[in-house]
Amino acid sequence: MKRAHSDVHLSNKFPRQEGLSLQPSSVVHKMASGDDFSTTSYGNNLMEVKADNSTPSRNSTNAVNSNHDSYGTTYDWQITKTTMCERGQQLLETGQWSDCKFIVGTEPHQQAFEGHKVFLAMSSPVFEAMFFGGMAEKDGPIHIFDVQPEGFKALLEYIYSDKISLRSFDQACELCYVAKKYMLPHLVRECTKYIWKDICPDNACRAFEFAKLFEEPDLMEKSLEVISNKTKEVLAEPSFEEVEIATVQAVLDQEELNIDSELELFDALQRWAVRECARKGLSSSDGKALRSVLHGTVGKIRFLTLTPSQFAERPAVSQLLSQDEAFAILVNISSPNTTTLSLPLPEGFTSSRVPRKKIPEPELEPESKSQPFRGPTLFSASTPADQVALPKMYCIRSLLPGQQPPPIYHSTILDSTLQFTVDRDICILGAQVPTQIEPVEGPYVRCQSSYTELLYAHLLDSNGARLTYTHFTSRVGYGTFMEISFNRHIFIQRNKVYRVGVVLNKVGSYRAEAYAETAICDGVVFKFNVGNPNDSIRDGLIHSIVFRHV
């Protein structure tokens, strides 16, 4: 039944002034047949009370509860908040008038957050595309799996109140990732500055990995400087056993380290290998398993700087070396002046006899003139100089004849994932995906030759761990393909499962294809849609894999 309407005088909302006292506003009751309800004014706040005594909506409840102090006295919180930041904080804490919901993280550590589309969109172009990019969805929670709840909470606090509460190195790294994901460059800079100032032996390796992932050369250099000056402390940290193999290799590549001998590096490498075997479910008592997880890294140890007794007492009896390798190294150590040896060093082992012992030097200030802080690079698409030796290859997926899936239209965000394996070790550089189908021109549509694409892409391993990622935003033409380059190139191993994922944030239609499950490119066999079939989603949007040989 149609609700009856009656006029409510605005004078009842605002009390009259008599001297300096405020008179309470009158109580207004309105009853209508059919859809009966009463509206009662307490002070200056309106609350809907249904006749059937049902509970008001959540937002209504929040509005009422947030307007009561500890004595039950009502007030208008808008009057008590003197700045926009205070008002934003009020909305964030109470959830009042929220119109979107996020489910952040993975089970069992997921957490729900409520937000306001306008607040979010005016701070982030990604949120703008998500909520106001055309026919955006207005209902249903938004799931975010690649972000930790604490990081997302800190992001919301910054958006709503301009507060940046950095309390730890790990939190700063997580918040920096979220800020890059949603394109908030100022927040990225503040997080990176905090990380820069907080580098110490117990987090130097993680800072190096963070800087490498986000392509921050100044931060990477600072991390290596701490590792070089404080090598003993870095190696003694339990966290060293948790770093990536590439980080271990980077440490061993340094010409100068503050160590007494290479034995310290060897012992740390052995601890790391034992821990890595445990992570992979391998037996650490199996020498082959230990050597397999190191991928030849043991060859970077400068064994020839050791004395015969030093080598014989520890490395020679370790399972990191085979008997043949240990014997060949010992012969070379014992014959330092022989130019031509009948027994050469094992393949892949360094012949350097130069010790890398280093005397500690004073650490540079974070923003000294010799190492200025230039801030992070948000959306770099450049290729590092040390990764361009071999040409790029494009594994273009083969079309299945006679099959043409319908175009995929999306009004919010569109994700596409593709699982694959290769039969040879290669280096993944990126992927190619289609641009949008040109919209049909009409009375409300003015077609242009190009549009601004906005997407996020990443590469995951079989456990769902992110290996690399990138944000892409550029002006692109309709009906073609765009190449997405990851922030760093990733070495992948044969016969292991990996997953490429792309999240498109621009409203529109994309052409999907039906592809064959196998493709061969320059001698490398790619197998697609392997593993759990549910892990490949709308894989027809991923046109090719960009790689190079190793």
pLDDT at residue 108 in the model: 84
Pairing of strands 100-104, 142-144: parallel
Yes or no: say if 113 and 153 are a contact pair by the CB < 8 Å rule. yes
Would you call the peptide bond into 108 cis, given omega within 30 degrees of 0 as the criterion? yes
Percent with pLDDT over 90 in the chain: 42
- Cβ neighbors of 444 (< 8 A, separation 6 or more) are none
Q: How far apart are CA 159 and CA 183, in angstroms?
A: 12
Q: Once rounded to an integer, what is the mean pLDDT over residues 98-118?
A: 91
Q: How far apart are CA 390 and CA 427, in angstroms?
A: 10
Residue 53: CB atoms within 10 A of its CB come to 6
Report the candidate in 244, 319, 311 with the shortest Cα–Cα distance to residue 274.
319
Angle, in degrees to the nearest 10, between helices 217-229 and 185-198: 10
Report the candidate in 211, 189, 187, 212 with the shortest Cα–Cα distance to residue 199.
211
pLDDT at residue 464 in the model: 80
Percent with pLDDT over 70 in the chain: 76
pLDDT at residue 35 in the model: 44
> Residue 105: is its pLDDT beyond 80?
yes
Q: Which amino acid is at 395?
A: C
pLDDT at residue 32 in the model: 37
pLDDT at residue 511 in the model: 87
Yes or no: say if 144 and 179 are a contact pair by the CB < 8 Å rule. no
As a 3-state breakdown, the chain gives helix, strand, coil percent values, each rounded to 5, of 35, 25, 45
Return phi, psi of residue 144, to 5°.
Answer: -125, 110
Q: Domains (ranges, CATH) in the chain?
A: 10-80 (no CATH), 84-163 (3.30.710.10), 385-549 (2.60.120.820)
Yes or no: say if 506 and 129 are a contact pair by the CB < 8 Å rule. yes
pLDDT at residue 22 in the model: 39
Task: Output the 3-class SS for 61-96.
Answer: HHHHHCCECCCCCECCHHHHCCCHHHHHHHHHHHCC
Q: How far apart are CA 87 and CA 138, in angstroms?
A: 24
> Residue 397: is its pLDDT beyond 90?
yes
Lowest mean pLDDT among 4-13, 122-131, 297-306: 4-13
Report the candidate in 439, 538, 430 with the shortest Cα–Cα distance to residue 482.
430
Tokens standing for 133? 């990019």
Residue 19: CB atoms within 10 A of its CB come to 5
Tokens standing for 442? 């009409």
Tens digits of residue pLDDT in 177-217: 999 889 999 999 999 889 988 899 999 999 999 888 877 88
Yes or no: say if 167 and 155 are a contact pair by the CB < 8 Å rule. no
> Residue 87: is its pLDDT beyond 60?
yes
Q: How far apart are CA 50 and CA 60, in angstroms?
A: 12
Determine if the pTM surpasses 0.75: no
Tokens 């892949």, residue?
348
Tokens standing for 48? 């809907």
Return phi, psi of residue 95, to 5°.
Answer: 75, 10
Q: How far apart are CA 319 and CA 308, in angstroms?
A: 18
Q: Once rounded to an integer, what is the mean pLDDT over residues 78-99?
A: 86
Tens digits of residue pLDDT in 337-354: 655 556 889 999 999 999
pLDDT at residue 367 in the model: 38
pLDDT: which is higher, 470 or 380: 470
State the DSSP string of 202-243. TTHHHHHHHHHHTT-HHHHHHHHHHHHHTHHHHHHSGGGGGS
Tens digits of residue pLDDT in 402-440: 877 888 876 666 788 999 999 999 999 999 999 998 877
pLDDT band at 53 (very low <50, low <70, confident <90, very high): very low
Tokens standing for 385? 């100089």
Return phi, psi of residue 409, to 5°.
Answer: -105, 135
Element (H, E) at 267: helix 262-280
Is the CA virtual torsion 86, 89, 90, 96 positive or negative? positive
pLDDT: which is higher, 393 or 415: 393
- Angle among Cα 362, 364, 369 to the nearest 5 degrees reads 135
CA distances from 276 to 75, 245, 289, 504 (A): 60, 9, 10, 36
Helix (H, G, I), strand (E, B), or coil: what is residue 31? Answer: coil
> Residue 4: is its pLDDT beyond 70?
no
